[in-house]
Amino acid sequence: MPLLDVQDLNIRFTGYGRTAHVLRDVSFSVGRGERVALIGETGSGKSITAKAILGTLPNNASTRGGIRYDGLDVMAMAPRERDRLKGTAFSIIMQDPLSSFNPVFRIGRHLDDILYYADRRQGRVSGAQDRKARILEVLRRVQLSDPERVYGAWPFELSGGMRQRVLIALALLHHPAILIADEPGTALDVTTQDEILRLINRLVAEEGLSLLMITHNLGVVRQTADTVLVMQHGRIVERGPLSQVFEAPEEAYTKSLMEAVPPLYGPRVTDQPVSTQAPIITMTGVDKVYGSGSMLRRGAGHRAVTDVGLTVREGEIFGLAGESGSGKTTVARMLMGLLEPTSGTIEADRGGPRRLTQIVYQNPGTSLNPKRTAAQTLAVPLAHVGLKGAQARARMTELMSLVKLPESFLGKYPHELSGGQKQRVAIARALAAEPRVLILDEPTSALDVSVQKTVIDLLLQLREDLGLTYVIISHDLSLMRNFCSRLAIMRQGEIIEDGTPAEIFAAPRHPYTRALIAAIPVLTDAEEALKPEITDAERHRFLVTSDTDTNEEGHDHVSTGH
């Protein structure tokens, strides 16, 4: 008998006078110690499924179907009885470590509250000392080496990775049988995410837990699942063992998902031609120190960029890769002339009164004004380059066809467009100002994988047709591998390695580059085998940055890749 058995689950949401059928006949089971992954894009219903299991659906949802836990019919239980299952039967690891804590309470308080009320639900009386001892024990299990300090810390004092570990600890407090992980670590850097996935895997293996992993990242699935369920539009469209689904997907949708993931190694990798044209922007010995403006505090500022030199040639796709806080955004803003370097020079071949650069932002949800239609948004840069009235209108039509959107979308507001469509409007706006260099700031990271691919293809097409130069900033090295003609890797404000992607991926020189590449979740064992080797010492030096993430890290590297 499976531990968790979901039969013909149907969920409808009612609101605004109509009903949306968001989950259709979803059936699956999770056995004891089994690791199941639910894969799907935005709106596929994967998070709703988790909420249905936990019993945390909003009030306007109506549920039909059966959920059985260890033979018990969960749906038929009284609310109070069902509440008792939370934490002991199922536990969820929350998605966003940065916003899941109340900033005015210490970490210990968050954990203690959960434990106190859970104990009460189970009719168990527990003393404060007893609870604290149990909490410290759990903190140790998630490899926080100084649990006492973490217990007394404020949320802001912990790094993202540590907070994610505390969230895992929260889920483990009551020895659940099934761990539900909703996109764990997606908000974190790739190297931290890698550590978190290793930890989850280890916990599942050591404590005999079952895992329901909810994710859109296929690389994560390969590391953390035995059985895979692919969801689309509220249905499970494909299911099977990991190896079967990944090696021989049957559904067209699964295939398209797999193809949309940019490969790191192997025959599917694309090499972009290297440009030999004249340099368009050159940076030499650039430093940027924030907060050193005032005379009194000179030198006391935060050093964001140190001695960066780079050359962007006409017609190339220059990639700046790095994790958060590496200084890549600061460099990009200096390239655009939005920030002045503290020292060093930036030479740009301006050749005209117009802006040399335009930018496409990461999140089209905030880069488009919600109160302005696509046409109104495009009108601004068009007016700036001197197009008005009928001319502007004609150019708008042209721009829309360039970004492959129907002309009728000109009258739409951002909320009427999907994420990918919004990003296309944002690209059209950037193109309308007729820049020679386009800065792409994580242009696809807010989008679903399949949409990412179409946007990247569009950008490549546009570069070919219009002869543009791109500078792309991203943390996504697998994207950069295929999209860039030249790549620079940044760490703590310095460029530590640069070259063509082919060179860097074939033989990364800097250990940090090796660590970064090694942390990227990939789709096949063949790619996994081609990743650079990295020693434990190097991992320590470059990945584990927080002072408490030490001791036990060394011996858990065996848990991935099986």
Q: Which of 213, 359, 427, 477 is the binder for another protein (CB under 8 A)? A: 359
CA angle 256, 257, 261 (to 5 degrees): 110
Cβ-proximal residues to 444 (8 Å cutoff; 6+ apart), any chain: 423, 451, 452, 455, 456, 476, 479
Regarding 436 and contact with another protein (CB under 8 A), the answer is: no
Regarding 385 and contact with another protein (CB under 8 A), the answer is: yes
Q: Which amino acid is at 403?
A: V
Token duo for residue 433: 């100002």
CB 22 to another protein: min, Å: 6
Taking the least distance from each CB to another protein, the nearer of 254 and 358 is 358
Taking the least distance from each CB to another protein, the nearer of 448 and 527 is 448
User: Of 190-198, 366-374, 398-406, 553-561, which part binds another protein (CB under 8 A)?
Assistant: 366-374
Q: Which of residues 23-52 bind another protein (CB under 8 A)?
A: 24, 42-45
Regarding 130 and contact with another protein (CB under 8 A), the answer is: no
Regarding 369 and contact with another protein (CB under 8 A), the answer is: yes
Per-residue mark of binding to another protein, 493-532 (x: CB under 8 A): ----------------------------------------
Regarding 358 and contact with another protein (CB under 8 A), the answer is: yes
Measure Cα distances from 199 to 168, 195, 558 in Å: 9, 6, 11
CB 211 to another protein: min, Å: 25
Regarding 420 and contact with another protein (CB under 8 A), the answer is: no
Regarding 237 and contact with another protein (CB under 8 A), the answer is: no
394 neighbors 455 (Cβ within 8 angstroms): no
Residue 495 β-bridge partners: 490
CA angle 287, 293, 295 (to 5 degrees): 125
Taking the least distance from each CB to another protein, the nearer of 22 and 260 is 22
516 neighbors 191 (Cβ within 8 angstroms): yes
Regarding 426 and contact with another protein (CB under 8 A), the answer is: yes
CA 225/CA 239 separation, integer angstroms: 12
Residue 498 β-bridge partners: 488
Q: Which of 372, 404, 510, 540 is the binder for another protein (CB under 8 A)? A: 372
Shortest CA distance to 144 belongs to which of 158, 128, 130?
158
Q: Which of 313, 429, 475, 531 is the binder for another protein (CB under 8 A)? A: 429
Taking the least distance from each CB to another protein, the nearer of 52 and 209 is 52
Taking the least distance from each CB to another protein, the nearer of 348 and 359 is 359
42 neighbors 54 (Cβ within 8 angstroms): no
Q: Which of 416, 457, 525, 536 is the binder for another protein (CB under 8 A)? A: 416
Q: At what angle do helices 389-402 and 449-466 cross, to 10 degrees?
A: 120
Q: Are strands 357-360 and 437-441 parallel, antiparallel or unpaired?
A: parallel
Token duo for residue 101: 């804590």
CA 143/CA 145 separation, integer angstroms: 6
CA 379/CA 374 separation, integer angstroms: 9
Regarding 374 and contact with another protein (CB under 8 A), the answer is: no
Regarding 164 and contact with another protein (CB under 8 A), the answer is: no
CB 94 to another protein: min, Å: 15
137 neighbors 145 (Cβ within 8 angstroms): no
Token duo for residue 76: 């038929």
Regarding 341 and contact with another protein (CB under 8 A), the answer is: no
CB 151 to another protein: min, Å: 30
Regarding 107 and contact with another protein (CB under 8 A), the answer is: no
Half-sphere exposure of 384 (CA within 13 A, CB side): 15
HEC profile of 282-317? EEEEEEEEECCCCCCCCCCCEEEEEEEEEEEECCCE
Q: Which of 120, 384, 509, 541 is the binder for another protein (CB under 8 A)? A: 384
User: Of 248-256, 260-268, 428-436, 485-493, which part binds another protein (CB under 8 A)?
Assistant: 428-436
Query: Which chain residues interact with another protein by CB under 8 A?
Result: 13, 15-18, 20-22, 24, 42-45, 58-60, 233-234, 336, 338, 355, 358-359, 361, 363, 366-372, 376, 380-381, 383-385, 413, 415-416, 418, 426, 429, 432-433
